[in-house]
Every structure is written in C-alpha cells, then in structure tokens.
Amino acid sequence: MPSSYPVAQIRDAERQALAEGRRLMPLAGAAAARFVAERIQPGTAVLALAGPGNNGGDALVAATLLRAMGHDARVLLPAGAQGLPADAARAHAGWTAAGGATLSALEPGFVPGLVIDGLFGIGLNRPLGADWQALVDTVNGWGVPVLALDVPSGVDADTGEALGRPIRARWTLSFIARARGLDLSGSGAGAIGESHVDTLGVAMPAAGGEA
C-alpha cells in the first residue's frame, strides 16, 4: 500500500504544484469522473454533493464531465456559490455554462444511483454542523454507493476519528496522496470503504508518515 501522509505535508505538495502553474482541480475532477463512469450503468443518476471549498469544486468538475459523457449528473450546493474559492467558483461557472442545474436542497423523493461526496476534504477538523449532519444522515439512509473525494466528509484526515456521523463511502479517492487518517483505526475507519489514490502527477517524498 502506498505511504500515507499528514495533511500539512499534502498541503505543502499541493501549494508547490499550484505555484508551478499546475491546475489541479480539473485533474482531480477528471479522475473522479473516470472513476464513476467505470462503475455505473447508462442512465444511472449521479448526485454530486459540492461543499463550500475546493473539495466541492472537484465534485463540480466531475459532474460537468459526467454530464458531457451523457450521464444523468446533478449537483447539490447547499451553501450556495457566493463564497466559493476562486477555482471552485470557476468549476461552478463551468457546470452552469454546460447547462447543469444547481440544487440548494434535496429534491423530495429523489434517490440517486451513486453519490459523489465533495462536501468536506482533508481540512475538516471540527464536528459537522447540524445541517450538514442532517444531509449526511439522509445520504447514508439511502444506502447507495458513495465515492468520497480525498476523505469521507465527517472523518478527520489526520487522526481517522469521526467528526459526528461521517458519510459512509464505498470508495475513497485520495488526490495527490493518501491522508494519514485513512490508514489509522480511528472511529471513522468504517466510513472509508476501498481506498484509492490518484497522484495527479504530483510527487510526494519517498518516506511519508506511513501508518
């Protein structure tokens, strides 16, 4: 299994790549879209949960690409687009330009065939707020496959501890490197599912904080 790293070390590699002019969000979104497309049948409804940060931007890019492939992709952006970081705002603009509709709340009676969890990434270090927890509980209640981007929302990426009741992923796709918490037996370990990594072409040190 590849090494796992502290969040701070992954962030350093990310900043370095961005400083070198690498555009990581399009790469991450494309990786997520490929991952999903390989695992769904035509006509499967995919719901991308886009949070208020760059993790949400990755989900928006993935949804845009899945829509371009002909899949029934939908986006839920509970916090709205106003406060999105610059890259995520561009991803939202791309989704809108492609004709995608952005939901602010779940549609009554709608249950997708697969969920992309882009609510919170490796930066989450506090318990999920009440509204976010209610959304996660609803998704978990559906019992459908979930692809978590970087880390399941509600899991501390450094410690592996649950920050409330995490989203239960069938797969977790880490970008750049696997966060250390995904290899630890914390209270969030049962939410991770199969762990996959796409480095996006970003190199990490040979020796990391492997658990």
pLDDT exceeds 70 at position 210? no
Q: Does residue 58 have a known ligand-binding role? A: yes
Of 27, 37, 24, residue with least CA distance to 66: 37
Q: Does residue 121 have a known ligand-binding role? A: yes
Going from the C-alpha of 195 to that of each of 22, 70, 118, the distances in angstroms are 25, 27, 16
Q: Does residue 125 have a known ligand-binding role? A: yes
Residue 88 pLDDT: 97
Rg of the chain, C-alpha, whole Å: 16
Q: Does residue 116 have a known ligand-binding role? A: no
Residue 39 pLDDT: 96
Q: Does residue 57 have a known ligand-binding role? A: yes
Q: Does residue 152 have a known ligand-binding role? A: no
Q: How far apart are CA 67 and CA 100, in angstroms?
A: 8
Q: Does residue 100 have a known ligand-binding role? A: no
Q: What mean pLDDT comes out for the span 50-72?
A: 97
Instruction: Please report the DSSP string for the chain in residue order.
Output: ---EE-HHHHHHHHHHHHHTT--HHHHHHHHHHHHHHTT--TT-EEEEEE-SSHHHHHHHHHHHHHHHTT-EEEEE-TT-STT--HHHHHHHHHHHHTT--EESSPPTT---SEEEEES--TT--SPPPHHHHHHHHHHHHHT--EEEESS-TTB-TTT--BSSS----SEEEEESSEEGGGGS--TTGGG--EEEEE-TT----SS----
Q: Does residue 124 have a known ligand-binding role? A: yes
Domain ranges of the chain: 24-198
Q: Does residue 123 have a known ligand-binding role? A: yes
Of 195, 86, 209, residue with least CA distance to 150: 195
Tokens of 192: 């991770």
Residue 209 pLDDT: 43
Residue 185 pLDDT: 87
Q: Does residue 27 have a known ligand-binding role? A: no
Q: Does residue 55 have a known ligand-binding role? A: yes
Q: Does residue 10 have a known ligand-binding role? A: no
Topology of domain 24-198, CATH: Rossmann fold (3.40.50)
**pTM of the entire predicted model:** 0.95
* 87 band by pLDDT with thresholds 50, 70 and 90: very high
Q: Does residue 165 have a known ligand-binding role? A: no
Condensed to tens digits (0 to 9), the pLDDT of residues 137-196 reads 999 999 999 999 999 999 999 999 999 999 999 999 999 999 999 999 899 999 999 999
Q: Does residue 26 have a known ligand-binding role? A: no
Q: Does residue 12 have a known ligand-binding role? A: no
Condensed to tens digits (0 to 9), the pLDDT of residues 103-141 reads 999 999 999 999 999 999 999 999 999 999 999 999 999
